[in-house]
Structure 1
Amino acid sequence: MSGTVYPLKGSQREAVEPQENVWLSASAGTGKTQVLSARVLRLLLTEDVRPEQILCLTFTKAGAAEMAERVNDVLARWVRMPATELFKDLRAIGAEGSDAELARARSLFASVLDCPGGGLRIDTIHAFAQWLLSAFPEEAELLPGTRPMEDRDRDLLAEQVLRDLLLEWEAGDPAAVAALEELSRNMAPDKVRGWLLRCAKAREAWEGPGGWQSPMRDRVLRLLGLPAEATMESLSACCADDTPAIASVRQAMWAFHEWGTPTGQKIAEAVGGWLLGTPQQRFEKISDVMGELFNKEGVFKNLNNLSKKVENAKAIGEEAHAWLTQVADQAVLFELAQFLTPALETGRKFAMAWQAAKAREGFVDFDDLIHRAAALLTKAEMSDWIRYKLDREFDHILVDEAQDTNAQQWEIIGALTDDFFSGEGQKGNRQRTIFVVGDYKQAIFGFQGTSPQNFAQAQKRYAELLRTRKENWARGRDAITVNELRALDLGRSFRTAQPILEFVDHAIAAIGHDALGLDANAPPHEGEDRAGIVRLWQPVPAQGGEASDDEAEDGSDFRLTPSERRMADGIAKEIRRWLDEGFPLEKGKHRNATPGDIMILVRKRGELVNPIVARLHARGVPVAGVDRLRLGAPLAVKDLMAALRFAAQPLDDLSLANLLVSPIFGWSQEQLLEHGYRPDKRWLWEHLRGSDDPFVGRTVAALRDLLALADFEPPQALLHWMLTGPWRARAKLVARLGSEVNDPIDELLNAALQFSASHTPSLQGFIRWFDAGDGELKREAEGAGGLVRVMTVHGSKGLQAPIVILADACVDPDASKARDLALVEETVGDGPEREIPIIASRKEQRVGRIGEVEAAQLAADKEEHWRLLYVAMTRAEEALFIGGALNQKSKDGPKPDSWFARLEPLFDGDWLAGGPFGAYKQLGRMAAPVVETGRVIEGQRLPLPDWAVTPIGAEPRPPRPLAPSGGIEDSSADPPLPSAEAAAAARRGVLIHALLERLPDVPVELRDAGGRAWLARHGEGLDESERADILARAIAVLEHPDWRDLFSPGALPEVPLAATVGTQVIAGTADRLLVRDDSVLVVDYKTARRPPQSLAQIPPATLRQMAAYVAALQVIYPGRTVSAAVLYTQTPRLFALPAEMLAAHAPGETGSAA
């Protein structure tokens, strides 16, 4: 990371003022990290601010590292920077650049290095919580040696806790054993384990006064919305003869009886049989009678035919369904309570044992870090003292990615900052500040317990807190003033082309700001003025049947449908074509794209990503692999673990067979099968040791070397010996599987080191520890230079690429189910709110309060679905490609709320032939092709021909290029104007011209809004009526029925032309070019205030310009008819220029393309 300081602009400069309290909403690509770094620099430059008084909290470790690196690099450069350059840097970030600031700037690097901890405190919230607990271990009630819990430690400990509980319950608690058995009958083993860990995580439910204790039946009933004393008898009273529910059922029965058909009589008899039962029998079989009367939509069966005989059949059915649904809901919830009560009691017992086991083993997990830190600052007996100590520590707190901060994390931040703005918390005359940056539109980590509502609520809270503090100062109650919270926005993107951001704005407008959870329309984005395209690929149609095992090329995509495999193939093929033929990019330097410029995004890390990576490999495209993978999944790790399993147990035939056919030994399947059938049924290892085959003998000798070390060396030493010793396993694995195996191999070594650091080193113990959990390998995508990146949208947060592909835009969000439902227990008195986990695995159980919670979660998930789309689209800098594959459920087309279905209407026109999937639609324009010089290929030296060594004469002077519109002054169209009026007219023409370039690619229904937004940004100084008139004239041109083809997606805007006509080089830019199979039409825009009324009045200069364009295009497109026209936008009016008129102004004779 370079230490370059970039000048701040607009709201960026306001946000870094060190005395201001700022709440900054920063859209994607607007330089958020730069502003944060500049804010830290400005604070450091402020007198009386020491580095240790600044605390920066970020969302990710990568974000913390990036900010720390940026600040440290700048400070290091400032030490020896020339005074003039240092002055420019200070001015760039809004500082005055006084002599005192220059001197202080040079000393800051040393000050930062000397501060406690060896640098600025820039941490994730979890790292800060860990530091806080380590600073106050006694107050946090932590034992010496307490350490963070890793995933495998958690899995092993959970297994141990459950084993111990089972032994305890079998000895004296048969009810607990029965409850666990009931859970196991209704849930898969991994679901049972997940439920127990959920209960362990819900510590607030069990701890403190009023925590849930056995027996729980009454509280479970109240939680589900039933009376605490409810029994089957009391609930079944609603099915007594004199109740409205039974009256409505009798009315329904008579309606079917009056229908008179056999079907009606059968239904009536079934309902009559149900009515003959007791109230309790009716209650228990309520679903039976509803199944007899109603279809899946809750409407009477055969309603149309029934209505012909029974006039008010529909009303009778609606009333009966409403009453029976209430009764059925109570029956379902009562049944659920019978299952949920023992499940919660079992979960509480596990949670208590889990907390005790963690304390015994000295573990704290991530949730413990946040929970204990928040409790330390807000609830502990020593919390006032701790806050007082911290109050003397930090004066300025900065929070990054605040939209992804959860409620408990905000508690920590609030505890740190509340004293900032109270009389007790101020320290003398020191200014203390809070700086928060985030973006509601980018809140996408709801699955981690975050909610953008926390972000909005925190802003309101701080605004009120600071307002009150300022009022107290105004009344003389406080000694020092404090600035109110300033809400600022960053909307200017420094990375993304304007056409892509305009598409993003149109997408938000089409989806609706409320669908993203926004209270109001998001401000329009403003991007870089360069080429940019958005292309929609036609979805891959669904194909019958699923993939079989034989059709899979590897073990990773056998569950893919044929359409998904075709999607992966098409993406790989298209990327290969881009790299071979060139994909022009403009940012920084006009060049062709490289693999590192391409990012492929998916919504979830499912079955599609591995085939994409595999297909890219197959086509020779350098690819970084999946951004996250299970450590045990890569083949290289499996091969090395097979070797360790063999070392631990040589009679493990499967592990030995896997090791032999791995790249480490390189046996073929045929060679292995030669030893597969052993008449004496000996173990494979014993059989190989008895072989006299020299090839087998060499293998046995290598395996003996491993066994000789296995009893004496720890796991990491064995792995190192295999990888770099006589086996040369790393080199062999890389040669067969590619360089991407290095990451998982290194992570396996790290896992072995981690195990040995926290456990007694043993081979069998390491294998058991490794198998206990998946272990996730995360590749840092920013370090994947020169490689195509394949990742989830969540993983791409904070990253960008010139070319982005959304590969699964057809996914139906409504197919997702609500996760881990929980109900909030109604508080009694001053008691705390308690969130109680529940199990409602069946759809019919999600009624009443459970149904409300599920609906709220699904609505929140839908909002996050659209915010995820925003994040995905804004990763693209110059090109955004959108595609997806249909399946059998969506074979008729993408589902209504898929990304694809909501984005497709933004593209005008029909599908254009081409692309990897047959057709596409496109907005915007690509950069001009890159003209590359030829490459020199070394080879055999060839004798030079005579002409190569013969001196040549002087080089002829090249013809001077003619720019048809460059030096032509169209002075006859307008009479002279006063200078001010001329300037206004020129500006008006420029704006109309610009709109005609941009609006053709905007959907018709969005042109008015898009044009107004663009003019609002670029039409400074014009009043509303002037802007409206400019926009109206531009839209009138686009919507003229005779010019539809000219402004269709097939026509090209702003096309550079170059050709040699005779001895004259003609170079220029055509405003609009329409190329057909047999003809070419070139059009130039004229914005003259007084356009000609006929062909005879068109100025000769304009005719010479268009004749030059025609002559150039006849060279470029030989064999096609070339015609020209001039479009006067003021009227508007299009003049087609006759060929004979242009011939009189032709620049020359035949020529060649330049």
Structure 2
Amino acid sequence: MSGAATVHPLHGNQMRAVDPLDTVWLSASAGTGKTQVLSSRVLRLLLQPGVEPGQILCLTFTKAGATEMAARINGTLAEWVRLSDTELFTRLEAIGARGDGETIARARTLFAAVLDCPGGGLRIDTIHAFSQWLLATFPLEADLIPGSRPMEDRERILLAHQVLVDLLVDAENPLSGDPGLIEALAALSLRHGSDAILPFLLRCASAREAWFGPGSWQAGEMRGHVLRMLGLPGDADAEMLAALCSDAGFDVASLRRCMEINHEWGTKTGLGAVEAISEWLLGAPEQRAASIEGLASVFLTQKDEPKAAKSQEKIDPAYADYAARVVECIRAVRALANLLDLAERLVPALRLGRAFALAWDEAKQREGLIDFDDQIRRAADLLANKEQADWIRYKLDRRFDHILVDEAQDTNAAQWAIIFAMAGEFWAGVGQHEDAMRTLFVVGDYKQAIFRFQGTSPENFRKAADRVRAAMNAAAHNAEVLRGEDGARELVELGLDRSFRTAQTVLDFVDEAIAGIGPGQFGLDRAPERHEGQERPGYVALWRPIGAAAGDEEEDEIADAGDDDGEDKETWISRPERRMADAIAEQVRSWLDEHGPGFTLVKGTRRRAEAGDIMVLVRQRKELAGLIVARLHAAGVPVAGVDRLRLGAPLAVRDLVAALRFAAQPLDDLNLASLLVSPLVGWSQEQLLEHGWREKRVHLWDHLRRSGDPEVGRVLHQLGELLGRADFAPPQELLQWLLVGPWQGRRRLVARLGSEANDPIDELVNATRAYGASATPSLAGFLAWFDAGDGELKREADHAGGLVRVMTVHGSKGLQAPIVILADAAGNPENARPADVDLPDPRDPARRIPLPPVGKHEKLGPILEEVEADKEAAAQEHWRLLYVAMTRAEEALFVGGALGSRDKGMPAPQSWYARLRALFPEAAEVADPVWGARCESGTPAASVTLPSASPELPLAEVLPAWLGRAPAAEPRPPRPLAPSSLGEDDAPDPPFPPGAGRDAARRGTLVHKLLESLPEAVPGERETLARAWLARNAADLDANMREGLLGDALAVIDNPEWAELFAPGSLAEVPVAALVGGQVVAGTIDRLVIGEESVRLVDYKTSRRPPASLDEVPRGILRQMGAYAAALGVTFPGRRVEVALLYTAAPRLITVPGEVLALHKPDLAVPE
């Protein structure tokens, strides 16, 4: 029997898209099998005669996508090696490939061919990874100095600070400096605040094309450039403004007629208007321009609306027309004046931005650093030069003849430049000479373009398709003209609309939403094809938004739940959002309650929903996501935590950093107070108030040192130990001492905050290591480095393993779940922070000029046009984000939200909730025990009853007698039985490179030795001792590998949950030998803990792919443990034998229950 995976044949447009001879532009809706199509396309290309693996390039949007595609392709190729001809024929047929003998023979060689490919396999990368690889391979051609490397986020901030400081120091030089730069910085800081300076300057640095190259903006011509960018002549000035106010430029005739009518009206208001108009007309044009606001007050209100003029119209019905013409002139004068004022502000700001950009570029070159923008730009430049590109291909010994682009809707213009630099001549020679088969495969979906904040635009997707279509049509025309035949294929444009994951009920609701909101609101020029889904029960529900009916008693009960707990009120989060998190936790808990009806899922086998089936989505990564996680955890719901977390945000990290800050600066009162009430010290708020109350202008540290209280003395001793080490230990060693030394920081933090604290603690340890690798370590330096940027802690949400996932919609891209909750659908998109404004250079619209923040009155002319276009693009992405969110659901979609204080009891008109609620009739609500009411579409599947224990069946009479007896023991072998010789019976993995097994064995030996020796060392000295030992005994390994071995060992030993295994009295590398039922069992136990009533055995495993649970542990290993358990049962009669496997790579401890051991013990007669 074969163990091959289930085959899912391609259908319809899927099959057409994988034709290796076609260039294909594929629009794939959510859940339509895009990844399978991409993988199958690569397989079809590899099967094509003449195509080598090195000719294929796959570009993905995320690292996870690249990893998944590589795993699929390599797994399939490895499977093809083992399958029989019949089974392989079936696999090839499923992807549309021929199944003849020649193709089958080629298929079996592809796994080895890919492994032997230069570079180590298929090139499957993100666009940034590919660019980085290309630049690293050709640094000289890319004009990079030796040793250049990508810039980390913190390095970017630190370098930007240093560049700005150096720039200002140079500007102060009385001989060669430019004081105008200092004045510009001061003006920007006063107007927008100091926090806005560096982001603006870095935007200027990113707009490199504005300051470098032909046509770039130079400092001496800055004013003319700015004026033209604002839509004004390059020489516009105050004289132009005065000309607008002259008799020739202003509609003076209409103004005089308005004055006459007001004079005839004769009231106080009318005579006041006459006086103001007369005074304005008597002035010179320059004076008129300066006093335009006085004239405007006659005709416009404070809201800039025309004043009512019913009385004047009774005198002359044409007064409104005269006034409108005057108002038009006033607004023209105002607009020009505002634009001139804005230009005067922008000129020095952009001069500063240009100077910073030049200094930034020089600093990066000097330091050998390149950022993301540099990678893309330099890679595109490297490939754009035809002669250089040919040279690069020659040096690489490969030529990318087949390019595949995933998630193309989120590829920006600079990234498309790289793609077209490689594919631009794919069709240029058709019709002139025979050329190798060269194809481009692009897959994307305009409806899923949601990464505009990263500089992408779905319009690039359309423009790229137009460019390829035009190039291929031109090539086909050339072939017909030159050879009189059809010499080229046209672009094949296909769509995928059949979802293989989502129920039809949910997709029908998605289609109704697109139609109800309007395809144009999504940026679509026509209605998309209706989705075709899975014919199984589906369900959509809109929960009544929290706060919609403030007087509703049922909602008040939800609102008041938990509000009495003073420590959990989270008052910085709005009360409706707190109630929303409470309600979600209550709802999820009810679904998972074993004693309740639960929620039934029908995909595959009918079953009750579990925690891992639920995904909670939010529009933005704000406090609500973290609060939902907290409420779910408090409700006893298994939850994975938010998908991304700023490293400085978790309480465990903040407490540890507070300890480090104290070591660097003990006189920081606020920091010391935070440290004292943290789990590291353990004071309560009352103790802090009791011992910390002091007179003014006395530091808390000085006050505590004068105290004679014994409790304060204990704390002073603890803090004194920290200060004593601060001047001598590098940050990494000091943090390690805090965690596992006398402070026992990890144990205390985990005890207070739960096991979730381990991940951020480990990331902080990694941060100290990263800092030590890039700089001379010092405590003050580390704190400055840490504060310079927000390191991000990212959890791989697709491996949440039975936990509820809480994440942003952006983070959920590529994922799905049977049940999806949209938790903040009532949010108002108009409350979003205004986007930064960039204006095109009139002489080169592709060149964008960044502007500092502009005020409301400055949004005129081109700026207003740009702002309105940006608002429209943001609104379209707002609705595309809704599409992505809804299509994550496989079977059930729930929509809810909390109303803000400005919503006045109703969701904002442009919120997701408001537009989705409009799809239901007004009276469609039904009662809901948690939410008060809900609207629903579809019907939930009937509840599944949990199986009850079945009575024993009377089988004894029909079963053979031998079934109840253990088989007779085999004769004892001549040598003792070593448990390690029992081996594994799992199928072998695909072949690995030569030496891989030897390296793995060496690694295992080193880790075992570290785990044997380090527990005996003083905790604070373990890392130093281990590093020295590795340097002596593994000097041939590179530093990264030695650090990895060290990290694995310390992660095991320092884990507080396993402290008992390494406590004094525990034994390492214990030889054991016992006679078990006539069979000698002998071996060595990695770790042994002997208690009065039990004996605990732990076996280390250093596999790089550890099993996730007991179910995945190979049977051979279980047989080994069974043999050890049998031997210990003889050696320690009457004591309970406990067995566990400790996988160091995770690290993960898997307990092997006694009943499992009993099933896997070898044929030994073990005494009871």
TM-score, with normalisation over the residues of structure 2? 0.76
Deviations 1:377-426 (A, max 9, x none): 22598355446667942121100000000111101000101222232999
Deviates more, 1:298-307 or 1:25-34: 298-307
Given the alignment of the two structures, is residue 213 of structure 1 paired with residue 226 of structure 2, yes or no?
no
| 5+ residue gaps, structure 1 | 937-946, 952-1154
Residues in 1 aligned to 2:954 and 2:451: alpha-carbon distance in whole angstroms:
72
Q: 1:631 aligns with which of 647, 672, 681?
A: 647
1:861 Cα deviation (Å)? 1.1
1:706 Cα deviation (Å)? 3.8
Deviations 1:14-45 (A, max 9, x none): 11122221111100010111111111122222
2:530 partner amino acid = P
Task: Go from structure 1 to structure 2 and tell me whether the alpha carbon gap of 1:266 and 1:429 turns closer, same or farther (over 3 Å shift).
Answer: closer
- Quote the residue 2:808 is aligned against: 792
3-state SS in 2 of match to 1:890: coil
Deviations 1:516-564 (A, max 9, x none): 111221011001111111111222336999x99x999669953433222
Residues in 2 aligned to 1:904 and 1:634: alpha-carbon distance in whole angstroms:
37
Q: 2:932 aligns with which of 914, 918, 922?
A: 918
1:265 Cα deviation (Å)? 3.8
2:680 partner amino acid = I
3-state SS in 2 of match to 1:420: coil
Given the alignment of the two structures, is residue 490 of structure 1 paired with residue 508 of structure 2, yes or no?
no
Deviations 1:39-75 (A, max 9, x none): 1122222222222221100011111111111112222
1:761 Cα deviation (Å)? 1.8
- Quote the residue 2:188 is aligned against: 183
Residues in 1 aligned to 2:5 and 2:274: alpha-carbon distance in whole angstroms:
83
3-state SS in 1 of match to 2:894: strand
- Contact 2:816-2:889 within 8 A present in 1 as well: yes
Given the alignment of the two structures, is residue 895 of structure 1 paired with residue 901 of structure 2, yes or no?
no
- Contact 2:53-2:113 within 8 A present in 1 as well: yes
1:75 partner amino acid = L
Q: 1:809 aligns with which of 825, 843, 856?
A: 825
Query: What is the number of residues matched between the two proteins?
Result: 938
1:926 Cα deviation (Å)? 0.9
- Quote the residue 1:464 is aligned against: 470
Task: Go from structure 1 to structure 2 and tell me whether the alpha carbon gap of 1:699 and 1:783 turns closer, same or farther (over 3 Å shift).
Answer: farther
- Contact 1:54-1:394 within 8 A present in 2 as well: yes
- Quote the residue 1:907 is aligned against: 920
Residues in 2 aligned to 1:124 and 1:597: alpha-carbon distance in whole angstroms:
29
Residues in 2 aligned to 1:393 and 1:45: alpha-carbon distance in whole angstroms:
18
Given the alignment of the two structures, is residue 523 of structure 1 paired with residue 523 of structure 2, yes or no?
no
Task: Go from structure 1 to structure 2 and tell me whether the alpha carbon gap of 1:306 and 1:904 turns closer, same or farther (over 3 Å shift).
Answer: farther
Q: 1:571 aligns with which of 563, 569, 584?
A: 584
- Quote the residue 1:345 is aligned against: 351
Deviations 1:983-1023 (A, max 9, x none): xxxxxxxxxxxxxxxxxxxxxxxxxxxxxxxxxxxxxxxxx
Deviations 1:923-942 (A, max 9, x none): 11111111112479xxxxxx
Q: 1:928 aligns with which of 935, 942, 945?
A: 942
Residues in 1 aligned to 2:849 and 2:535: alpha-carbon distance in whole angstroms:
53
2:372 partner amino acid = F
1:284 Cα deviation (Å)? 2.9
- The percent identity for this pair of structures is 57
Residues in 1 aligned to 2:832 and 2:89: alpha-carbon distance in whole angstroms:
56
Residues in 2 aligned to 1:84 and 1:375: alpha-carbon distance in whole angstroms:
49
Residues in 1 aligned to 2:690 and 2:129: alpha-carbon distance in whole angstroms:
56
- Quote the residue 2:732 is aligned against: 716
- Quote the residue 2:617 is aligned against: 601
2:244 partner amino acid = C
Deviates more, 1:740-749 or 1:16-25: 740-749
- Quote the residue 2:82 is aligned against: 80
Deviations 1:1090-1111 (A, max 9, x none): xxxxxxxxxxxxxxxxxxxxxx
1:212 partner amino acid = W
Residues in 2 aligned to 1:949 and 1:612: alpha-carbon distance in whole angstroms:
47
Residues in 2 aligned to 1:446 and 1:521: alpha-carbon distance in whole angstroms:
22
Deviations 1:695-736 (A, max 9, x none): 555545544554454344432233233334443322322222
1:948 Cα deviation (Å)? 12
- Contact 1:883-1:900 within 8 A present in 2 as well: yes
Task: Go from structure 1 to structure 2 and tell me whether the alpha carbon gap of 1:499 and 1:258 turns closer, same or farther (over 3 Å shift).
Answer: farther
2:295 partner amino acid = V
Task: Go from structure 1 to structure 2 and tell me whether the alpha carbon gap of 1:308 and 1:925 turns closer, same or farther (over 3 Å shift).
Answer: farther
Task: Go from structure 1 to structure 2 and tell me whether the alpha carbon gap of 1:287 and 1:511 turns closer, same or farther (over 3 Å shift).
Answer: farther
1:777 Cα deviation (Å)? 2.2
Given the alignment of the two structures, is residue 368 of structure 1 paired with residue 384 of structure 2, yes or no?
no
3-state SS in 2 of match to 1:521: coil
The within-5 A match list for 1:387-426 is 392-423=398-429
Task: Go from structure 1 to structure 2 and tell me whether the alpha carbon gap of 1:949 and 1:889 turns closer, same or farther (over 3 Å shift).
Answer: closer
- Quote the residue 1:204 is aligned against: 209
1:296 Cα deviation (Å)? 6.1
Residues in 2 aligned to 1:497 and 1:287: alpha-carbon distance in whole angstroms:
63
Task: Go from structure 1 to structure 2 and tell me whether the alpha carbon gap of 1:479 and 1:234 turns closer, same or farther (over 3 Å shift).
Answer: same
RMSD value, Cα: 3.2
Q: 1:35 aligns with which of 37, 40, 44?
A: 37
- Contact 1:145-1:362 within 8 A present in 2 as well: yes
Task: Go from structure 1 to structure 2 and tell me whether the alpha carbon gap of 1:629 and 1:259 turns closer, same or farther (over 3 Å shift).
Answer: farther
Residues in 2 aligned to 1:427 and 1:728: alpha-carbon distance in whole angstroms:
74
TM-score, with normalisation over the residues of structure 1? 0.77
- Quote the residue 1:1041 is aligned against: none
Residues in 2 aligned to 1:104 and 1:857: alpha-carbon distance in whole angstroms:
52
- Quote the residue 2:452 is aligned against: 446
Q: 2:104 aligns with which of 83, 102, 105?
A: 102
1:759 Cα deviation (Å)? 1.2
Residues in 2 aligned to 1:221 and 1:762: alpha-carbon distance in whole angstroms:
49
- Contact 1:3-1:74 within 8 A present in 2 as well: no
Residues in 2 aligned to 1:509 and 1:679: alpha-carbon distance in whole angstroms:
68
2:209 partner amino acid = E
Q: 2:680 aligns with which of 646, 649, 664?
A: 664
Q: 2:299 aligns with which of 262, 275, 293?
A: 293
Given the alignment of the two structures, is residue 224 of structure 1 paired with residue 230 of structure 2, yes or no?
yes
- Contact 2:54-2:398 within 8 A present in 1 as well: no
Task: Go from structure 1 to structure 2 and tell me whether the alpha carbon gap of 1:314 and 1:500 turns closer, same or farther (over 3 Å shift).
Answer: farther
Residues in 2 aligned to 1:455 and 1:117: alpha-carbon distance in whole angstroms:
30
Task: Go from structure 1 to structure 2 and tell me whether the alpha carbon gap of 1:721 and 1:475 turns closer, same or farther (over 3 Å shift).
Answer: farther
1:200 Cα deviation (Å)? 0.9
Task: Go from structure 1 to structure 2 and tell me whether the alpha carbon gap of 1:342 and 1:949 turns closer, same or farther (over 3 Å shift).
Answer: closer
- Quote the residue 1:967 is aligned against: none
Deviations 1:1072-1123 (A, max 9, x none): xxxxxxxxxxxxxxxxxxxxxxxxxxxxxxxxxxxxxxxxxxxxxxxxxxxx
Residues in 2 aligned to 1:76 and 1:694: alpha-carbon distance in whole angstroms:
68
Deviations 1:859-911 (A, max 9, x none): 11111111111111111111111222222322152232222222212113512
Task: Go from structure 1 to structure 2 and tell me whether the alpha carbon gap of 1:597 and 1:100 turns closer, same or farther (over 3 Å shift).
Answer: same
1:595 partner amino acid = A
Task: Go from structure 1 to structure 2 and tell me whether the alpha carbon gap of 1:555 and 1:618 turns closer, same or farther (over 3 Å shift).
Answer: closer
Deviations 1:644-701 (A, max 9, x none): 2223344544434323322223222233333314679876556666767665555455
Deviations 1:1025-1079 (A, max 9, x none): xxxxxxxxxxxxxxxxxxxxxxxxxxxxxxxxxxxxxxxxxxxxxxxxxxxxxxx
Residues in 1 aligned to 2:905 and 2:881: alpha-carbon distance in whole angstroms:
25
The within-5 A match list for 1:124-135 is 124-135=126-137
Given the alignment of the two structures, is residue 618 of structure 1 paired with residue 618 of structure 2, yes or no?
no
Deviations 1:320-356 (A, max 9, x none): 2222222211111001011000111011011111111
3-state SS in 2 of match to 1:789: strand
1:154 partner amino acid = R
Deviations 1:1117-1141 (A, max 9, x none): xxxxxxxxxxxxxxxxxxxxxxxxx
3-state SS in 2 of match to 1:501: helix
Task: Go from structure 1 to structure 2 and tell me whether the alpha carbon gap of 1:315 and 1:139 turns closer, same or farther (over 3 Å shift).
Answer: same
Residues in 1 aligned to 2:908 and 2:263: alpha-carbon distance in whole angstroms:
42
1:120 Cα deviation (Å)? 1.5
Residues in 2 aligned to 1:949 and 1:211: alpha-carbon distance in whole angstroms:
88
